Structure 1
Amino acid sequence: MKAWQKIFSLLVLVLLLAGLAGCGSSASQDKGSGTQTKPATSGTSTPSRPKYSVALEATFAPFEFRDMKTGEFTGFDIDLIKAIGQVAGFDVEIKEMGFDGIITALQTNNVDLAISGISIDDERKKAVDFSLPYYQSGLVVAVKADNNTLKGFDDLKGKKIAVQIGTTSAKEAKKIPGAKVTELDKVPDLFLELKNGGVDAVVNDLPVTAYYIQQGNKDIKIVGDVRSAEYYGIAIPKGKPEVLQKINEGLKTLKANGQYAAIYKKWFGQEPPAFLPGEPPQQKQ
């Protein structure tokens, strides 16, 4: 082999070895770091949506309960808070708990907010903040269908009454002279106690009692007038103005774009009252 050919072959070999060494170094670095080189991009990345933990007690149909077929949480409150999250920019993580523990969970920041048919009252407002009202409710008396002696709140003096613990129903029942009030954890237990003869009546929220009867429980009936008309609100820990603002703006948006009305009609079969969240109902002429 000629001298110039030897020199040329040697140069090719050196270049080849240098190329292999470079490839080996690059592969080693990629594997060690666990990352791959990506082309540079301009602009800033979009931050991920926050996830808010939402407390509820899931035996308060039609506001929140478990679907018997799927086991998933469903109801008016569930649809509403998810819709608020969609327009306000946050995801929802449901946390089920006893109703009497919800306010404490908010005060200790174990949850970000709560929607569980919670009536806005002065005592609760000392412990948590409330959104604009999203539902108007009231309390009613339920008795066995064959009971023709109890006709409303005025007939409950000295009677045995079942209520859900920690609710405005419990507060109202305890005002009745001589009443023996039994506080239970879950709404279905109230009606079971009534059916079994353990109590004379149940005091509970009108829409929940009406929904229970509509599900085929014709052995129960509502008697008398609605008492203590009240609003439901979404509860937020104090000192969280940014969360409160998101909830309120979300409610206003849903009211304006018709989604609130659609959700309301889905669960209650009628148009919602003609008032904006946070405003009293319009007086009928």
Structure 2
Amino acid sequence: MTKGFIKSIAAAAVLAAGLVHGAVAETLNVGAYPANPPWEFKNTDGSFEGFEVDLVNEIAKRIGYDVAIQDLGFQALFAATSSKRIDLAISTISITNERLQNQSFTQGYYDSDLALVSAKEAGITSLADMKGKPVGAISNSTGEAWIKANAEKYGFGEYKGYNAQQDLILDTQLGRVAGAVGDIAGFQFAFLKMPKMEVDERIKTGDQFAIMMTKDHPLLEKVNAAITEIKNDGTMAKLHSKWLGVDAAEGTATVTVLDIPKAQ
């Protein structure tokens, strides 16, 4: 056997290995709005981190893909999936029938509910305890809309709107309002460093966060199947505990396998 023949075999082996590697390590292109902790945010070195970042990395590992995350504005995510610039988008995107007309979604993995919160020393344990008491929310938020729609039912006292979450929480902690209503995940994340605050009652909205994909993307079923595995083996529940500081409630989308949503 000549040296030239041996070199030819070696070169062919290297080329074949490269082709196999390329087939295995296809890239899942992900779009994310990075100013959205604890779901996605950028570290000082520019790398992405967060609940949904961990989730897409886990999905990619299970389906045999690499991940490349692009920094996009929230509204740009919709155009990027439609144009196939990215395969999927994360950033606490709620499933809606309107969006399903032009995009595909995986099963939901988080119930985007509201919550009543208060200082632990305030003696508030539920919405029933808020009768006649002042309540706050972020101005023009879903929390504010819910308070106004339910003011008569619960007999809330004075309503106070805030421009920033930190101001709302501070006034609640100081007793300037007896309780606050807003996104439960935002409160849970903030309370990881605020042991004197607590979630008193979860307020169901029916909304769910999911991964958004190009309409009828060929990987939709495979990505969704990976999410099912991640729920069934407890990985999703671990992500919930890691990033929100509490266990996922029984019966929520975080621990319940769901169907792929369809447009109506």
Deviations 1:197-216 (A, max 9, x none): 9xx99864211222123334
Counterpart contact for 2:138–2:144, Cα < 8 Å: no
1:191–1:202 contact (8 Å) kept in structure 2: no
Q: Which one of 56, 64, 69 corresponds to residue 94 of structure 1?
A: 69
Mark the CA change 1:86 to 1:180 in structure 2 (over 3 Å): closer, same or farther. Answer: same
Aligned residue in 1 for 2:214 = 237
1:103-114 equivalences under 5 Å are 103-114=78-89
Number of residue pairs the alignment of both structures matches = 229
Structure 2 matches for 1:174-189, cutoff 5 A? none
Q: 1:125 aligns with which of 79, 83, 100?
A: 100
Corresponding position: 1:213 with 2:191: yes
Contact 1:58 1:96 in 2 (8 A): yes
Q: Do 1:120 and 1:232's aligned partners in 2 also have CA atoms closer than 8 Å?
A: yes
Q: Which runs of 4+ in 1 moved over 4 A?
A: 39-45, 141-145, 151-155, 170-177, 179-182, 192-197, 200-204, 220-225
C-alpha distance after superposition, 1:19-49 (max 9, x if no partner): xxxxxxx9xxxxxxxxx74355598852142
Q: Does 56-65 or 222-231 show the bigger shift?
A: 222-231
1:245 Cα deviation from its structure 2 partner: 1.4
- Pick closer, same or farther for the CA change 1:248–1:160 going to 2, 3 Å: closer
Distance (Å, rounded) in 2 between the aligned partners of 1:260 and 1:160: 29
Query: RMSD of the alignment, in Å?
Result: 4.4
Deviates more, 1:46-55 or 1:78-87: 46-55
Please name the residue that 1:66 is paired with: 42
Contact 1:139 1:229 in 2 (8 A): no
Change (3 A) 1:110 1:75: same
Cα deviation digits, residues 156-180 of structure 1 (max 9, x gap): xxx984357xxxx499569869x99
Query: 2:260 aligned with 1:260, yes or no?
Result: no
Q: TM-score, normalised by structure 2?
A: 0.64
Shift of 1:236: 0.4
Gaps of 5+ in 2: 151-158, 172-176, 260-264
Q: Is the 8 A contact 2:89 2:213 kept in 1?
A: yes
Match in the other structure for 2:165? 191
Q: Is the 8 A contact 2:143 2:183 kept in 1?
A: no
Does residue 51 (structure 1) correspond to residue 31 (structure 2)? The answer is: no
Distance 2:116 2:233 in 1: 36
SS at match of 2:207: strand
8 Å CA contact 1:261, 1:272 repeated in 2? no
**CA gap 1:56/1:222 in 2 versus in 1, 3 angstroms:** same
Quote the residue 2:256 is aligned against: 276
The alignment's TM-score, normalised by the length of structure 1, stands at: 0.60
Q: Using the alignment, how far apart are the partners of 1:123 and 1:176 within structure 2?
A: 23
Q: Higher relative contact order by CA 8 Å / sep ≥ 6: 1 or 2? A: 2
Query: Match of 2:223, as an amino acid?
Result: I
TM-superposition CA deviations, 1:35-90 (whole Å, max 9, x none): x74355598852142212212222332222234x6553211111111001000111
**Contact 1:107–1:127 (CA under 8 A) maintained in structure 2:** yes
